[in-house]
Structure 1
Amino acid sequence: MGLRSNVSQRQRRLGQELRKLREAAGVPRAEACRHIGIHTPHLSNIEAGRTACSEARLRALAAVYGCTNEPLVDALVEMSNATGKGWWSPYAKTLESRIIDLAELESAATAHRSFQWLYIPGLLQTPDYMRSLFTRTSPTAPVEVIEEYVNFRLRRQQALVDEPLPDYHAVIHEAAFHMKFVDREVMLDQLEYLVQLAHFPNITIQVLPFSADAHPATPGAPYTLLDAQVPELCTIHVEQPVASVFLGDQPHINRFATDFARLSSVSLASLDLTGQLGEGSLGLIHHLLYLMKEGRHAGP
């Protein structure tokens, strides 16, 4: 079987998890290969995600490593059996691989925990907000390229309404609502859309106000924790200016999960917690809507 020229995040993560199991068990690569009848380079390529690992071979490796965590092994088998093909496949020829990887991860996630401090999270954006963002960040991009990115992000949003519904929890810093890269009408529509989304049973939106006693940039960048069927396979997507980063080691997962819980605890309560339109995060959004509408009537 030939080696993959392009390794997806899912394939890379599968190999990393198999390597973790082997190293945790203290089994040398050569010894593992002897047990299942393959050569050392073959296992090296499996652990690098460059070649596939059959279900029988994967389960045999787990047994060699003494892994008795059956839900984890079953989840790894499911990762191994996945084709990687989905609605995102036609975009793979024109969009960056990191965006394709993110879409595949989002489609399989059981829960999303997202923190943003400059923008509205991508899965909550309106089309016009997206266009403003893409146009400002890539001012020379042709209209058709901008529209392709808009269409792709809109299709990503389907992950929030596809069954089974994933839990989605966003903490958005208040600064994101005051950015001037979108005009007033676009932001008005965006805020009204957030109010609608806040009533979805699986969506929680909190605002981290300027007055909060918390520094928003503890990790240094916006991020999303994408939960999987088993906690060991949670993935952190960290947004960077040049290239996004995907993290899956337990120390990072623990750090980002703790940070998100801290930010959530000092943010304004969500609609689900207050039940009152005049309070909490939704109250602040309504207040911002009022100020923007008043400003519109007052003129520039």
Structure 2
Amino acid sequence: MPARRHPTARQGRLGTELRKLREAAGLKATEVASLLGASSVQMSQIESAISGVSEQRLRRLAAHYACTDDAFIDALAAMATDRTRGWWAGYRTLLPAPFLDLAELEHHATFLQEVALPYIPGLLQTEDYARAVYSFRVPELPKPELELRVRHRMQRKVILKEPTPVPYEAVIHETALRIRVSDRNTSRAQLAGLLELSEEQHITLRVIPFDLDGFAGATSTMKYAGGAMPRLDTVVRDAPHGTAFIDSEDQLDAFRTLFRKVEAVSLPPDQSRDFIHRLAKEL
């Protein structure tokens, strides 16, 4: 297969999982290369996602690694043969790669969970709210690039509006609900938008009020995306150096626990709607 210039995060995940299988089998890349009639360089390129891998080769590798998890192998095969060219591809060369990787991750997710503290989650933001957030960026974005990012964020919402939408759950701290990223009208419209979305069966919104006891998770902001199976889940976090896509099993398990802890101290969905409604009336 031809070399890729810019592998996506999803392609990189496939390569990572193949490397993990090889290492779990106690094999070196040079040992496995001969099985495929390839060089160690080609094996390295497959595991680093610079080159793709056919389904036939993938299944041969899995057998050689003594992987007996058929569901996992099928999931990897689906990733290897996926030729989806989603709407986000239109932003290639226009926006940084993490924007495209995030949209692709959400597209393939079996469920999404978010914990939001300083801002309303991107998937729930109104256009004016998103524009205000991007406008505050330093250094300032040129107007065309700012509008490009806003449009991209609005298009991501398609996963919540499809005939079979992805199940989505967000836990939002009162901080995010009260901070006026723009003016009163923008905040009022944002809260109204949250109330409307909270009525959808596939969307669950929970609120953590300031005066609720038992919340010490001030650094808990995250997005958790379910994969075809739990070992293919992914966590997305914003870091000082950029967006981080986390997929190690130990870290995934830690974030699952973190979400359960945050969810446990939040208000139930019906009380959360009432809370948002009261805030909206105050504006």
TM-score category (smaller protein): over 0.9
Structure 1 length as normaliser, TM-score? 0.90
For 1:265, the equivalent position in structure 2 comes to 264
| Structure 1 residues 249-294: Cα deviation after superposition (integer angstroms, max 9, x where no partner) | 11111111110110001001113xxxxxxxx1111101101111xx
Q: Give SS of 2:112's match.
A: strand
For 2:215, the equivalent position in structure 1 comes to 214
For 1:67, the equivalent position in structure 2 comes to 67
User: Percent identity among equivalent residues?
Assistant: 37
Runs of 4+ in structure 1 off by over 3 angstroms are none
For 1:275, the equivalent position in structure 2 comes to none
Measured in 1, the distance between the counterparts of 2:235 and 2:23 equals 22
For 1:21, the equivalent position in structure 2 comes to 21
- Asked whether 1:109 is paired with 2:109, we answer yes
For 2:151, the equivalent position in structure 1 comes to 151
For 1:296, the equivalent position in structure 2 comes to none
For 2:122, the equivalent position in structure 1 comes to 122
Which residues in structure 2 correspond to 1:136-215 (within 5 Å)? Answer: 136-138=136-138, 140-212=140-212, 213-215=214-216
Measured in 2, the distance between the counterparts of 1:5 and 1:144 equals 26
2:167 partner letter: D
Q: Give SS of 2:87's match.
A: coil
Q: Is the CA contact (8 Å cut-off) linking 1:21 and 1:62 kept in structure 2?
A: yes
Measured in 1, the distance between the counterparts of 2:222 and 2:193 equals 22
| Structure 1 residues 233-252: Cα deviation after superposition (integer angstroms, max 9, x where no partner) | 10111122441000111111
Q: Give SS of 1:238's match.
A: strand
Measured in 2, the distance between the counterparts of 1:61 and 1:269 equals 47
For 1:33, the equivalent position in structure 2 comes to 33
Report deviation, 1:34. Answer: 2.4
Which residues in structure 2 correspond to 1:70-85 (within 5 Å)? Answer: 70-85=70-85
CA RMSD in angstroms, aligned pairs only: 1.4
| Structure 1 residues 111-140: Cα deviation after superposition (integer angstroms, max 9, x where no partner) | 000111000000001111111111112573
Measured in 2, the distance between the counterparts of 1:74 and 1:107 equals 19
Q: Give SS of 1:68's match.
A: coil
1:101 partner letter: D
2:260 partner letter: A
Greater CA drift, 7-16 or 179-188 = 179-188
Q: Is the CA contact (8 Å cut-off) linking 2:246 and 2:252 kept in structure 1?
A: yes
Measured in 1, the distance between the counterparts of 2:29 and 2:142 equals 50
Q: Is the CA contact (8 Å cut-off) linking 1:234 and 1:253 kept in structure 2?
A: yes
Q: Please, which runs of 5 or more residues in structure 2 have no aligned partner?
A: none
Measured in 2, the distance between the counterparts of 1:238 and 1:18 equals 24
Q: Is the CA contact (8 Å cut-off) linking 2:112 and 2:223 kept in structure 1?
A: yes
Greater CA drift, 4-13 or 133-142 = 133-142
Measured in 1, the distance between the counterparts of 2:105 and 2:82 equals 12
Q: Is the CA contact (8 Å cut-off) linking 2:224 and 2:236 kept in structure 1?
A: yes
Report deviation, 1:19. Answer: 0.6
Structure 2 length as normaliser, TM-score? 0.95
Measured in 1, the distance between the counterparts of 2:245 and 2:211 equals 31
Q: Is the CA contact (8 Å cut-off) linking 2:181 and 2:187 kept in structure 1?
A: no
Measured in 2, the distance between the counterparts of 1:238 and 1:217 equals 14
Q: Please, which runs of 5 or more residues in structure 1 have no aligned partner?
A: 272-279, 293-300
Q: Is the CA contact (8 Å cut-off) linking 2:105 and 2:225 kept in structure 1?
A: yes
For 2:276, the equivalent position in structure 1 comes to 285
| Structure 1 residues 203-236: Cα deviation after superposition (integer angstroms, max 9, x where no partner) | 00001111231122345xx210100111111011
For 1:53, the equivalent position in structure 2 comes to 53
For 2:238, the equivalent position in structure 1 comes to 239
Report deviation, 1:15. Answer: 0.4
Measured in 2, the distance between the counterparts of 1:122 and 1:53 equals 33
Q: Give SS of 1:239's match.
A: strand
Q: Is the CA contact (8 Å cut-off) linking 2:180 and 2:187 kept in structure 1?
A: no
Measured in 1, the distance between the counterparts of 2:25 and 2:119 equals 43
Measured in 2, the distance between the counterparts of 1:181 and 1:164 equals 32
Q: 1:72 to 1:168 in 2, by over 3 A?
A: same
| Structure 1 residues 5-41: Cα deviation after superposition (integer angstroms, max 9, x where no partner) | 2121011110000011111122222222222322211
